[in-house]
Amino acid sequence: MARDKQVGQRILGLMSGTSLDGVDAAVLVTDGIDIVKFGETAFRPYTAAERAVLRAALGRWPGDTGVAEAAEVVETAHAEIISRFERIDMVGFHGQTLAHDPGGRGTHQAGSGDVLAEVTGLTVVWDFRSSDMRMGGQGAPLAPFYHHALARNRGLEGPVAFLNLGGVANLTWVDPGIPAPEHACLAFDCGPGMAPMNDLMQARRGAPHDEGGALAAQGSVAQAALERFAAHGYFRRIPPKSLDRAAPVPDVAGLNDADALATLAAAVATGVTLGFEHFPQAPRLLLVSGGGRHNATVMAMIAAACDCPVAPVEVQGLDGDMIEAQAFAWLAARVARGLPTSAPGTTGVAAPVGGGRVSRPSA
Q: What is the CATH number of the domain that holds 41?
A: 3.30.420.40
In a shared domain, residues 41 and 162: no
Q: Which helix or strand (DSSP H or E) is residue 308 part of? A: none
Residue of 61, 69, 58, 49 whose CA lies nearest to 17:
58
For the beta carbon of residue 81, count every other beta carbon within 10 angstroms.
Answer: 19
Residue of 297, 235, 286 whose CA lies nearest to 260:
297
Q: What's the rounded mean pLDDT across residues 310-314?
A: 98
User: Is 311 within the bounds of a domain?
Assistant: yes
Give pLDDT, residue 103: 75
User: Is 256 within the bounds of a domain?
Assistant: yes
Separation of alpha carbons 321 and 323, rounded Å: 6
Separation of alpha carbons 286 and 308, rounded Å: 7
pLDDT band for position 4 (cuts 50, 70, 90): very low
Give pLDDT, residue 240: 84
- Per-residue pLDDT of 136-173, as tens digits, reads 998 888 999 999 999 999 999 989 999 999 888 999 99
In a shared domain, residues 128 and 170: no
In a shared domain, residues 165 and 309: yes
In a shared domain, residues 100 and 191: no
Separation of alpha carbons 111 and 88, rounded Å: 20
Three-class DSSP category at 179:
coil
pLDDT band for position 246 (cuts 50, 70, 90): low
In a shared domain, residues 129 and 159: no
In a shared domain, residues 268 and 299: yes
**DSSP per residue, 3-49:** HHHHH-EEEEEEEE-TT-SEEEEEEEEE-SSSEEEEEEEEEEEPPHH
User: Is 79 within the bounds of a domain?
Assistant: yes
pTM over 0.75: yes
In a shared domain, residues 129 and 206: no
Q: How would you classify residue 85: left for phi > 0, otherwise alpha for psi between -120 and 50, otherwise beta?
A: beta
| Amino acid found at 136 | G
126-145 burial, b if ≥16 CB within 10 A, otherwise e? bbbbbbbbebebbbbbbbbb
Number of domains the chain is built from: 2
Strand partners, 189: 170
Q: Kindly tell me if the per-residue pLDDT of 18 is higher than 50.
A: yes
Separation of alpha carbons 131 and 274, rounded Å: 29
Separation of alpha carbons 102 and 91, rounded Å: 26
> With 0-12 CB in 10 A as exposed, 13-18 as middle and 19+ as buried, what is 202?
middle
pLDDT band for position 19 (cuts 50, 70, 90): confident
In a shared domain, residues 168 and 303: yes
In a shared domain, residues 166 and 287: yes
Q: Which domain, by its residues, includes 164?
A: 155-316
Instruction: Let me know: does 124 contact 111? Beta carbons within 8 Å.
Output: no
Q: Is the peptide bond before 179 cis (omega within 30 degrees of 0)?
A: no
In a shared domain, residues 128 and 171: no
Strand partners, 97: 109
- Per-residue pLDDT of 272-288, as tens digits, reads 999 999 999 999 999 99
In a shared domain, residues 161 and 110: no
Phi, psi (deg, nearest 5) at residue 147: -60, -40
User: Is 327 within the bounds of a domain?
Assistant: no
Q: What is the DSSP pairing of strand 310-312 with strand 90-101?
A: unpaired
Instruction: Let me know: does 170 contact 188? Beta carbons within 8 Å.
Output: yes
User: Is 348 within the bounds of a domain?
Assistant: no
Kindly tell me the number of DSSP H helices and DSSP E strands found in the chain.
Answer: 13, 12
**Eight-state DSSP code of residue 249:** -
> With 0-12 CB in 10 A as exposed, 13-18 as middle and 19+ as buried, what is 165?
buried
Three-class DSSP category at 207:
coil
**Per-chain mean pLDDT for the chain:** 94
In a shared domain, residues 129 and 215: no
Three-class DSSP category at 93:
strand
